[in-house]
Chains A and B, each alone.
Chain A
Amino acid sequence: MTESELIIRLREGNEEAFRELVTTYRDPVYNTVLSIVQQREDAQDIAQDVFIIVFRSVQHFAGNSTLSTWIYRIAVNSSLDHLRRKKRRKRFGFILQLFGDENEQVPVEGDFNHPGVQLEQKENAAILFLAVKQLPKNQQVAFLLNKTEGLSYSEVGDIMGISEAATDGLLQRAKQNLRKMLNKKSFFTKAEGFSDK
């Protein structure tokens, strides 16, 4: 089934087309979401929500980009929305704890081990993922799409709605910031603190 046929059948509400869409894109979507949110349980939930959004809004898909670019864009936005909600909840939970509500737990974040990382790189990758979380959101997304999904600068640019040159600049800045962070001793002290939890 070609991409345009798939879109037409999805618009008709065809279940077989939906199954094919999920089979084709579930791994890229799950991998993208997992790399951004760095939580397996949350990643599955968000990835499923991405397909529900795709199914419900395929009527409005204008075809200005490829289907995969559109799906990646939804996956990135859903992941960032989740992180924003989580941050808000965390702040609110902390305030409630200050006022003595012990039932409101502030989530503790630990190391993230991406299942696709080679065994001998696990430790270094966990530190890198921790550092990536401190980057500005656009640098974070560009870096992760390029590194964990293996997308080219032009594909990353299409997803983020920026030019190839701008993507290049964003990735350069991301790498510079990561290098700065990793060269600081204080970062490793913080990283060890996370590992202990």
Chain B
Amino acid sequence: MTRNTDKILSSLDHMTRATAPEQFYAGLRAKMERQQSNAVIYRSALKPAYVTLVLCIFLAINIFLLAGYPNPEIKQVSTISDIQAFATEYGLISQSPIQ
């Protein structure tokens, strides 16, 4: 067992260095160009003009939604008049005992 272990442990003793594949440099340049173009797209998406435009759109949507929201005061008035109409119809309006 020990002799076998020694053989295994010395199996890398006279090994040579692995050589990189032939197209290593061409592949590397292609990878760098790909990463460069991705970085350009990312950078252009973060340009101040684009950021301002996105903020303006967001603001416009907010204004549009707020403008279209019903006024709570008007709703309250209409609710009160509805109750009064209901009370009148069924004679539920309390009258003063003096009258």
Contact = CB atoms under 8 A, between A and B. Distances in A.
Interface of A: 19, 22-23, 26-31, 34-35, 44, 47-48, 51-52, 55, 114-118, 121, 124-125, 127-128, 131, 147-150, 175, 178-179, 182-183
B65 interface: no
Interface residues on B, range: 20 to 34
B77 interface: no
Interface in B42-95: none
Contacts of A125: 11-12, 15
B31 A31 contact: no
B11 A44 contact: no
B61 to A, nearest CB: 37
A115 B28 contact: no
Given A52-B31, A125-B11, A116 B24 contact: no
A31 B11 contact: no
B5 A179 contact: yes
Contacts of A175: 9
B23 to A, nearest CB: 9
6 contacts: A22-B24, A23-B25, A27-B20, A44-B21, A52-B28, A124-B11
